[in-house]
Amino acid sequence: MAKNIYIGEIFKNEEIAQDCFLMSVALHSTFAEPQPGQFVMLRISGISEPFLARPFSIYSFQRETDFCRIDLLYQVVGKGTQILAGLIKGSQVEILGPLGNGFEISQSARNLVLIAGGMGAAPLSFLAEYLDNKVCSGSSKIYFYLGARNSETLIGMDKINNLTCTAVICTDDGSLGEKGLVTQILAQDLKKYAPDQTMIYACGPKPMLKELAKILQGTKFKCQVSLEERMACGVGACLGCAVEVKGKKGMAAYKRVCADGPVFYIDEIAWKKI
Amino acid sequence: MSGKNNINMSVKIEKLKLKNPVMTASGTFGYGEEYADYVDLNKLGAVVVKGLSLKPRAGNPPPRIMETTGGMLNAVGLQNIGVEAFIAEKLPFLRKFDTKIIANIYGESYDEYKKIARKLDAAKGVHALEINISCPNVQKGGLSFGADPKTAAAVTRKVKDATDLPVIVKLTPNVTDITAIAIAVEKAGADAISLINTITGMSVDIFTRKPHLKNITGGLSGPAIKPVALRMVWQVLQKVSIPVIGIGGIMNAEDALEFLILGAKAVQIGTANFINPQATMDVIAGIEKFMQMSNVANINKIIGTFKP
């Protein structure tokens, strides 16, 4: 009964890559510690359009002495994010969260393989940071496959550079790192990892995740994916953010990305319908 | 019923006594538990749960929602766990709260409506039924029952025969004359009427040339529909004598008061919950403040004070 919307104050909102912004918001220190893969619903205070909040995955979270700081990455794709990009320091936003189920953290896997495409770098670099700080010891290693359209749109490098991990960068046009889709590069590397000693974590555009599902089909790799869908409430009530999962006897069944996800095991999703 | 400053907010809808006139609208508050971390359910006049069908329903394929100017379209398609799972899994939780539980029900045939009503009647902890004869997003039943006075009356009669619980009939605005439906369900024995359900609408992606909703059409809710809802509530109030519950685009206490002043005995808060999980609490507090400011101790002295 204690949860509520937090009013946050923007203290940084800058373009870090083409059409991609990093927003830092100061929140009251009672804001709960988010787990990697969780998200927040964000609304600009005092405006009537757009009037619904939008989901944003969490890129960073820091506890300062008397407040906490949450970092979000977003791409300018429509009216709402355009307005968001125009907000200046001191503007207020309403934040509900942290919401949803984050990534299940594997304590036993030797290979922690992270695959991010485009904006998928936001939750996965948060995860990588978490794994690097809290999980990884001598016996487990992080392999981070990071893909983008080109070098201008690539995000997440600032964080990855500070981590102990093997990073594989790829761009569709070859302007940075390897040329090709992140899924293609991973497919080539897959034989390096023993399925029973590996946990794969992925986030990115739907076609990328769909391709990943195809690559992993028939293998014994365990893979968690973080999904995105249009949402209204973020707490499981509106049933707007449905994703089709494999139902019994071929019947359609849907789960809520917000409350049942946003992280799912990849083999749970009915990719053929997506 | 808040003891503070002797403000009395309790209202009666036939034999259903509510501590205040603020309910949640079906489909916007899940089964109550989704918002229990945010809202003290004890403080609500009533919780109206997500529409229940006889068997579980998977709902429509996504995308199911789209924001439009001042509102949102949805085509969820009555995804629900079914009446039996509701009674077994959700009702025990809701029974713990000191509020009224209203089960919204939906059937594809008269027989289904009757069966669902009987099951809920036998379950402990349901205080009233709200009949959904107005869902715009499903192929069978729903809207087709609600768009014709004869079938609307027939559904009402079937449900009334199957239960002793108060029966509220939720009307669709997607008809030429909503008062004809209202009169018909009153005659058929409805204890109250709630209106409006969503207004059918659509939205087009100009780049892909596709509809924003997979279902193509959906139901519009949110602030954009409030003036239409007020107009329809006003029209219905002039034609029936049973209590009317106002629904449609209520975002704050002022919006709720508009409906109450017209003569609605209670209101339901829907889309506002999505934006502010505590919208219902804010509306209750705002009405109370308005009563204090206007020196009115009893909410019934506000209801129906419209001066046309």
Q: Average pLDDT of B47-52?
A: 96
The answer to whether B70 contacts A241, with C-beta atoms less than 8 Å apart, is: no
| Confidence check: pLDDT of A1 > 90 | no
- Does residue B3 have a pLDDT over 60? no
Q: Which amino acid is at A235?
A: V
Q: Are B129 and B159 in contact (CB under 8 A)?
A: yes
pLDDT digits (tens, 9 = 90+) for A180-207: 999 999 999 999 999 999 999 999 999 9
Cβ-Cβ contacts under 8 Å, A253 against chain B: 58
Taking 90 as the threshold, does the pLDDT of residue B4 lie above it? no
Quick check: B78 pLDDT over 70?
Answer: yes
User: What average pLDDT does range A166-189 have in this prediction?
Assistant: 92
Q: List all residues 6 or more positions away from B269 whose beta carbon is below 8 Å from its beta carbon.
A: B22, B23, B24, B25, B28, B250, B256, B279, B280, B283
Banded model confidence at residue B137, pLDDT cuts 50, 70, 90: low
Going by pLDDT thresholds of 50, 70 and 90, the confidence category of residue B140 is: low
Nearest residue of B to residue A257, measured between CA atoms: B62
Paired tokens of A207: 């076609």
Q: Residue B11: is its pLDDT beyond 70?
A: yes
CB atoms within 10 A of CB B14: 15
Q: Is A14 helix (H, G, I), strand (E, B) or coil?
A: strand
Whether pLDDT at B138 is above 80: no
Chains A & B: contacts with CB separation below 8 Å: 106
Averaged pLDDT of chain B: 94
Among A50, A54, A57, A45, which residue's Cα sits nearest to residue A87? A45
Q: What is the pLDDT of residue A46?
A: 83
CB contact under 8 A, B76 and A49: no
Residue with tokens 């991609």: A20
Give the model's confidence band at B211: pLDDT under 50 very low, under 70 low, under 90 confident, else very high: very high
Measured CA to CA, the distance from residue A187 to residue A180 in angstroms comes to: 11
What pLDDT, in 10s, does the model give residues A148-157? 999 889 988 8
Q: Which residues of B touch A252 (CB under 8 A)?
A: 58, 61
In this predicted structure, the answer to whether residue A223 has a pLDDT above a threshold of 90 is yes
Q: What is the pLDDT of residues A102-149, one digit of tens each?
A: 999 988 899 999 999 999 999 999 999 999 988 766 788 999 999 999
Helices (H), B175-225: 178-187
* The CATH classification of domain B4-61+78-202+221-301, taken from the options 3.20.20.70, 1.10.1050.10, 3.90.1150.10, 1.10.10.10: 3.20.20.70
**Residue in the block written with tokens 């009666």:** B12
Predicted confidence (pLDDT) at residue B144 exceeds the cutoff of 80: no
ipTM of the complex: 0.91
Task: Please report, for chain B, the start and end positions of each structural domain, with discontinuous segments joined by +.
Answer: 4-61+78-202+221-301
Q: Using DSSP, how many helices (H) and how many strands (E) does chain B show?
A: 10, 14
Interface residues of chain B, partner chain A, Cβ below 8 Å: 27-30, 34-40, 50, 58-67, 69-70, 72, 74, 76, 79, 222-223, 271, 273-278
Please tell me the least confidently modeled range out of A37-46, A131-140, B54-63: A131-140
Domains and CATH numbers, chain A: 6-99 (2.40.30.10), 103-226 (3.40.50.80), 227-274 (2.10.240.10)
In this model, does residue A96 exceed pLDDT 50? yes
Residue B135 annotated among the catalytic residues of the structure? yes
Compute how many other C-beta atoms are within 10 angstroms of the C-beta atom of residue B301.
13
